[in-house]
Amino acid sequence: MPKSFLSILDLDRNEAHALVRRAHEMKRTDYRSDLLAGKTVVMIFEKASTRTRVSFEVGIRHLGGTPLLMTPAESQLGRNEPLRDTARVLSRYCVGLVVRTFGQEKLDELVKWGSVPVVNALTNEFHPCQVMSDMLSMYERTPDFEGLKVAWVGDGNNMAHSYMNAAVHFPFELVIAAPEGYDPDPAILDNARRLGARVSVTRDPREACRGAHYVNTDVWASMGQEQEQKKREKAFADFQVNDELMALAAPDAKFLHCLPAHRGEEVSESVLEGPQSIIFDQAENRLHMQKAILEWVFTA
């Protein structure tokens, strides 16, 4: 069975920490290799992307490979061909699939029917590559993770789910502040806690941010939720990360956002562009972590 990366829990604790250290070393040395020389990695993107697409394309090239992008507009994706057929055909052409899609079950089907590794570049349930990149951003500043408090303010979405999974392997406390009706999936939360994650959920963003070393948020309406924008604006009105919230965090606290950001909605302009924001370091780290993940997947 090929080694796939569908969620952070596909890693054990040692592998998760080793990936962060490896990505840090790749960044330090501007790493290149011929690991994927002469090989093609197919990127199936059913959702639009900037950082994920570019970082994976560049990362594949840095490892000597050739990326090939597939979208629904340019292929049989989303038409009449069963996914199991796509999985078996693409497995004959390429060495791996990087997939950005909707339901996690699509990745499971690609793994079941295909014979090459699958990397989760985002689903509705998880965004593991982004959160592992965030672990790199935190490691650069607080390398042991001990005693850290991480605040997640906003929707209990795929990012929140992957942060809960990360808290299984990295020893930080995670406090999620979400309005009623927007909590993380209880099954994912229960599983993370069962595996040792220190995660709590509150309705008060001030409680989450008080003393936090990292304050994190995401857009209120993600791709596919645009029709809920007005409803979500009302529900999340008190959950904007602004100067008032950041003042409650630790004096050296950093602000994180996976981007794109909606200035004036989930985060104020003053925080996003302020001295505590590390969003562009965070975005750059996508490249280095994608390379580390690809190396892990394609190294026996």
Q: Around 4, how many Cα atoms within 13 Å sit in the side-chain half-sphere? A: 22
Catalytic residue among 218, 232, 282, 288: 218
For residue 227, the tally of other CB atoms under 10 A from its CB is 9
166: helix, coil or strand?
helix
Q: Which of 159, 177, 273 is nearest to 218 (CA)?
A: 159
The annotated binding site for carbamoyl phosphate is made up of 49-52, 76, 100, 127-130, 258-259, 286
Could you confirm whether 94 is annotated as catalytic?
Answer: no
Phi, psi of 66 (to 5 degrees): -120, 120
Could you confirm whether 100 is annotated as catalytic?
Answer: yes
Could you confirm whether 79 is annotated as catalytic?
Answer: no
Could you confirm whether 286 is annotated as catalytic?
Answer: yes
The annotated binding site is made up of 49-52, 76, 100, 127-130, 158, 218, 222-223, 258-259, 286
**Cα separation values, 217 from 126, 168, 214, 290, Å:** 15, 20, 10, 21
Could you confirm whether 240 is annotated as catalytic?
Answer: no
Catalytic residue among 22, 53, 127, 213: 127
Burial of 29 (0-12, 13-18, 19+ CB in 10 A): exposed
Catalytic residue among 22, 130, 169, 232: 130
Catalytic residue among 155, 258, 282, 288: 258
Catalytic residue among 24, 53, 100, 232: 100
Phi, psi of 143 (to 5 degrees): -65, -20
The annotated binding site for L-ornithine is made up of 158, 218, 222-223
Could you confirm whether 218 is annotated as catalytic?
Answer: yes
Q: How far apart are the first and last CA of the chain?
A: 11
Query: Which residue matches tokens 């011929």?
Result: 34
Spatial neighbors of 126 by CB under 8 A, at least 6 apart, are: 6, 7, 8, 104, 120, 158, 161, 162, 165
Would you please indicate which residues are annotated as catalytic (active-site) residues?
A: 100, 127, 130, 218, 258, 286
